[in-house]
A and B are shown apart, each in its own frame.
Chain A
Amino acid sequence: MLSQKERALLEAVAHGRDSLDHFVDQFGMTCAEALHLAESLRRLGYLQQRGTLYLDSLSYDLTEQGQAVLNLSSAQRSLREARLNVADLQLLSRLQHGAVDRAQLEEGGSDSVCSQLAHLSDQGYVAVTGIFRGRVTLTPRGRDVLARYGNLLDAVPREGS
């Protein structure tokens, strides 16, 4: 029986947040807590490490067992392909009318937003610019993905990141 935190971590990996820095920021953990949780799930067979050395050792992938244990909604399963979750889609929709200051996006404290923006920036959906505080802009790729999956926002209740 998985705990809520374990399940949340598996869902994060399912949606592309698959490395320790995301676990630390998204769940407000220390690195030791995040690594212990990920290793625990790896030993149980839900996760596999992408590699044993260097950068790959910091990333994890879902095993078939891990995928099977997740009870993703149809919307969440659709979004997996784009390595997004519903909260990402909600954030992207806030950007469709123009750039937004990162400070405005920070509702639950900076920890979770920074993980979200780092992930979306890595995927090419947003660009975070500005020498000082970040200013977040939707990229053309981000507009495409919003156009493709935006209808899912109506199908699911609002959820936090």
Chain B
Amino acid sequence: MAGEQVLVWSLAGLYYVGMITIGVVVGRWVKSGADFLVAGRDVSWILQGLGLSSIVVAGTTLATQGAIGYLAGLAGHWWVTGWIIAVLIGAFAFTGFYRKTGAYTLSEWLAACFGKRMHVVASITLAIGCFFSPLANILGGGVVLSGLTGMSIDAAIVLVGVIVAIYLFTGGLWGALVTDLVQWIISAVAFLIVIPLFILLRSDASLWQSLPDTYWSLGSVPMLPWFEWTLPSIFGMFWLMFSIATGGFYWGRSCSTRTIRETRKAWILAVVVSIPFAFVAPLAGMYVRATGIVLQVPDQALGVFLQSIPVLARALCLVAILAATMSTVNAGSMAGATVLVRDLGKYLGLKGERNTKGARWITFLYTLAATAGAVAFNHFITVLGSVMALALLAGFLTSLIPPLLASMFWKRVAREGALLGVGFATLSTIYTMFFSDIWQRYHPVFTGFLVSLVVMVVVSLVVRYTRPWWREATDF
């Protein structure tokens, strides 16, 4: 066991040093705010596509899929398949639009459409929403890391968060993208080769016969006790992923690609290479169930499976889980930090835009704040901590979708409607999650969107009959 720990920590240490080294090396490419925030819009479709795929392959994804696989079978694929469908829609409907606006963030675009007040409200909503993504994944990754290494959860959380903060400080979006590539390769080797190989080597037909037939169903999501609040349906999983993909989280990624054509290719590549990942973790969970192991905490299914494979393979998979976690953490950190630098910075007197030093420190501190938040969630929201953080991410982001859609397809929307829609939806998410028990019945990804949409439409219709409720400096 001691030898195994040495091997695990050696590989993990090598990985951490590698990530920081990448951040330092690509940091030499960063000469301006545009280079730091959107990689100078010089990102190839291959780097972008694999980077997007690495976002969905997160530590929390794997643990959740493993749990669903253990409890209910292949239906766990919908966690990733929902994302795949959302990104496929985005490839044809949204990503080209994002790129063509020239905006670095969704809030920057909404400001162009609806004015300065919207700029402030949308930026705050987006920055807070994005904050919960690194928080959720640092927390989830820390829990997994703790379970596999024996270190305390707090220490594991801090380790994950600090490493990401360092390579983002040095490399910005380039640091995120190039580490994503390495992280994707490690994840692909571990989860598309090593795990399926061991499942295949150790399986025979009689093993799988112990599972109910429903375990092989692709089409239905079971009503699992701890799961039914979060994602009670296939549509729920899809909508969660659609809200994250469309509500501004991937905007900066799209806008960093070289051309509109390349950004579409990138999103399609992400879809194609993510398909295999949808099935591996559920299969591992099913394997554990088929062997007769009884788990009190289904999240441990993947970890239990890994305990049954040789130590070298297990160590590689551990590093892959870390890699999968970090690639998702850096996406949320860059998305949120870009909003702070590009959008809110000027209202706060920050000079991060042209000054890369300012952008670096804002990104670093934002990531550390998410790390601190993950520690707090671990202590004060002990049940479903990362899942609740994900709900907050989705709840905030989904409120921005109605004004985005209106800016694309409904020119008669009033700025008052767009602004009040986002404002009320944000407040409803906060109320839902922290001051009521509504969240136990209705996920904020639904309530946030509906509130934003209804308020936007109703107020826009009212404004048609009244004069505009306020003037903006940019009015003609």
Interface residues in chain A, defined as those with a beta carbon under 8 Å from any beta carbon in chain B: 19-25, 30-32, 34-36, 39-40, 43, 52-55, 57-59, 102-103, 106, 109-111, 114, 117-118, 121-122, 128-134
Contact = CB atoms under 8 A, between A and B. Distances in A.
Given A31-B111, A122-B259, A53 B100 contact: no
Given A20-B101, A21-B99, A133-B29, A114 B40 contact: yes
Contact of A134 (B42, B111, B260, B261): B42
Contacts of B178: 132
B474 A32 contact: yes
Contacts of A58: 97, 100-101
Given A52-B411, A132-B178, A35 B112 contact: yes
A11 to B, nearest CB: 18
A109 B32 contact: yes
Contacts of B411: 52-53, 57
Given A31-B112, A110-B41, 15 more contacts: A19-B100, A19-B102, A21-B102, A30-B342, A31-B101, A31-B102, A34-B112, A54-B409, A55-B100, A58-B100, A109-B32, A110-B31, A121-B258, A129-B44, A134-B42
Contacts of B109: 31
A82 to B, nearest CB: 18
B108 interface: yes
Nearest to B261: A122
B44 A132 contact: yes
Contacts of A31: 101-103, 108-109, 111-112
Contacts of A23: 102
Nearest to B111: A32
Interface of B: 29, 31-32, 34-35, 40-42, 44, 46-47, 96-97, 99-103, 108-109, 111-113, 119, 178, 181, 258-261, 342, 408-409, 411, 474, 476
B44 A39 contact: no
Q: Could you tell me the dominant secondary structure of chain A's interface residues?
A: helix
Contact of A114 (B42, B44, B101, B113): B42
Contact of B44 (A53, A110, A134): A134
Contacts of A131: 44, 46-47, 181
Residue among A34, A110, A117, A130 facing the most chain B CB atoms (10 A cut-off): A110
A49 B333 CA distance: 36
Give 9 closest A-B pairs by Cβ, nearest first: A24-B102, A21-B102, A110-B40, A31-B103, A32-B112, A114-B41, A35-B112, A31-B112, A20-B102
Nearest to B408: A54
Q: Could you tell me the dominant secondary structure of chain B's interface residues?
A: helix
A54 B97 contact: yes
B102 A25 contact: yes
Contact of A25 (B29, B41, B119, B474): B41
B465 to A, nearest CB: 22
23 contacts: A19-B102, A20-B100, A21-B102, A22-B102, A24-B103, A30-B108, A30-B342, A31-B108, A31-B111, A32-B112, A53-B411, A55-B97, A57-B411, A58-B101, A109-B32, A110-B31, A110-B42, A118-B258, A121-B259, A122-B261, A128-B42, A129-B44, A134-B42
Nearest to A34: B102
A21 B47 CA distance: 21
A25 B32 CA distance: 13
Contact of B108 (A32, A52, A57): A32
Nearest to A113: B40
Contact of B42 (A30, A54, A102): A102
Nearest to B409: A53
A118 B260 CA distance: 9
Contacts of B112: 30-32, 34-36
Contacts of B29: 103, 133
A118 B263 CA distance: 12
Contacts of B102: 19-25, 31, 34
A121 B32 CA distance: 23
A109 B31 contact: yes
A17 to B, nearest CB: 11
Contacts of A39: 476
B172 to A, nearest CB: 12
Contacts of A36: 112, 474
A22 B100 CA distance: 8
Contacts of A43: 476
Contacts of A19: 100, 102
A131 B259 CA distance: 14
Contacts of A54: 97, 408-409
A22 to B, nearest CB: 7
Residue among A23, A43, A114 facing the most chain B CB atoms (10 A cut-off): A114
B360 to A, nearest CB: 17
A24 B112 CA distance: 12
Nearest to B28: A103
Contacts of B31: 106, 109-110
Contact of B259 (A103, A118, A130): A118
Contacts of B476: 39-40, 43
Contact of A130 (B40, B41, B44, B108): B44
A76 to B, nearest CB: 24
Contacts of A109: 31-32, 34
A16 to B, nearest CB: 14
A96 B111 CA distance: 42
